[in-house]
Amino acid sequence: MSTVPHLTLNNGVEIPQLGFGVFQIPPEDTKDAVLQAFDVGYRHIDTAQSYRNEDGVGEALRESGLAREDVFVTTKLNNGAHAPEAAVEAFERSLERLDTDYVDLFLIHWPLAMLSDFVDTWKALEDIYGSGRAKAIGVSNFQLPHLRRLLVETTILPAVNQIEVHPYLTQRELAAFGREHGIVIEAWSPIGQGTVLDDPTLQRIARDHDRSVAQVTLRWHVQRGHVVFPKSVTRSRVEENFALFDFELSDEDLADIDALNRDERTGPDPDTFDRVPPA
């Protein structure tokens, strides 16, 4: 079994650099998908209140028999719960659904700057962190102006910024800001939900290394210092996505992949995303 490296977050917490994402896995299938990922060797699960499948993650944690401290669990605050009291309440419901006393990482899912004051929401996360029930706190889909406000107006720096990143959206500026301030980049949709798989440059590099395009893309993330959690319900792909630590891309490969950037999103743009799903 390959060994997943860990990164150290800015508060000293260790995070496995590769995890398993459960976005779009139906609630009734989540337990089995997570158990399958555990069986392959994943020990890091990325869920969210809005995915409506925290229960399934909790069931898998229980049934796996794994020690709680051996699994890194992230969840994210629902968009409808940005008011500070609502955020704390929603966090507590997450702990119940996940059947755990703490999460390893709790994130604000979207800044929703047009609908709420994410600085107040962040202060609620600081309180949760202070209570010890989240080992680390961070943000997701935050742009530079959002991060700059947190830097000036709050006391705890986010441990991570979870954003869409893949070869067609390399997010150079946010990555540089993260490096400067010790905020780890977590890359969501790391293979662009499959959109990068037909890319000729990635296919050439994959052939050179006798690997799949998905593996080469995920390896690029790893060597660029991102945390990744590809989603798959297909066992062969779950295994393929885990086999990233016995080969290495050259500096030239990395530069060729960096050059594929087109600033092209597969998901919503945080600057215009202001949808509040039903609570």
Ligand X SMILES: NC(=O)c1ccc[n+]([C@@H]2O[C@H](COP(=O)([O-])OP(=O)(O)OC[C@H]3O[C@@H](n4cnc5c(N)ncnc54)[C@H](OP(=O)(O)O)[C@@H]3O)[C@@H](O)[C@H]2O)c1
Whether residue 30 contacts residue 56, with contact meaning beta carbons closer than 8 Å, is answered with yes
Looking up tokens 């800001």, which residue turns up?
177
Cα gap 223→171, rounded to integer Å: 15
- Rounded to the nearest 10 degrees, how much is the dihedral formed by the CA atoms of 188, 193, 194, 195? -90
Of 142, 177, 229, 242, the one binding ligand X by CB under 6 A: 229
The least distance separating ligand X from the CB of residue 82, rounded to whole angstroms, comes to 15
Q: Which stretch binds ligand X (CB under 6 A): 82-90, 129-137, 224-232, 249-257?
A: 224-232
Catalytic residue, from 51, 102, 129, 168: name it.
51
For the chain, how many residues are written?
A: 279
Of 65 and 278, CB closest to ligand X: 278
Binding mask 152-181 for ligand X (x = CB under 6 A): ----------x-------------------
Choose, by CB under 6 A, the member of 188, 206, 216, 249 that binds ligand X.
188
**Does 199 engage in binding with ligand X (CB under 6 A)?**
no
Residues 6+ apart with CB under 8 A from 144: 173, 174, 177
Query: Three-state DSSP class for 169?
Result: strand
Q: How far apart are CA 258 and CA 191, in angstroms?
A: 14
Which residue's CB comes closest to ligand X? 21
Span from 60-68, 88-96, 193-201, 246-254 in contact with ligand X (CB under 6 A): 193-201
Candidates 191, 205, 206, 222; binder of ligand X (CB under 6 A) is: 191
Our CB check for ligand X shows the closer of 116 and 189 to be 189
What is the rounded CA–CA span in Å between residue 17 and residue 19? 7
Per CB under 6 A, does 79 bind ligand X? Answer: no
CA distances from residue 20 to 43, 81, 258 in whole angstroms, order as listed: 8, 25, 24
Is 102 among the catalytic positions?
Answer: no
DSSP 8-state secondary structure symbol assigned to residue 221:
H
Q: Does 52 bind ligand X (CB under 6 A)?
A: no
Contacts of residue 28, defined as CB under 8 A and 6 or more positions apart, other chains included, come to 56
CA–CA separation, 39 vs 44, rounded Å? 12
Least distance (Å) between residue 271 CB and ligand X: 14
Q: Could you list the active site residues?
A: 51
Residues at the site binding ligand X, with contacts judged by CB under 6 A:
21-24, 46, 109, 140-141, 162, 188-194, 197, 212, 214, 229-234, 237, 240-241, 267
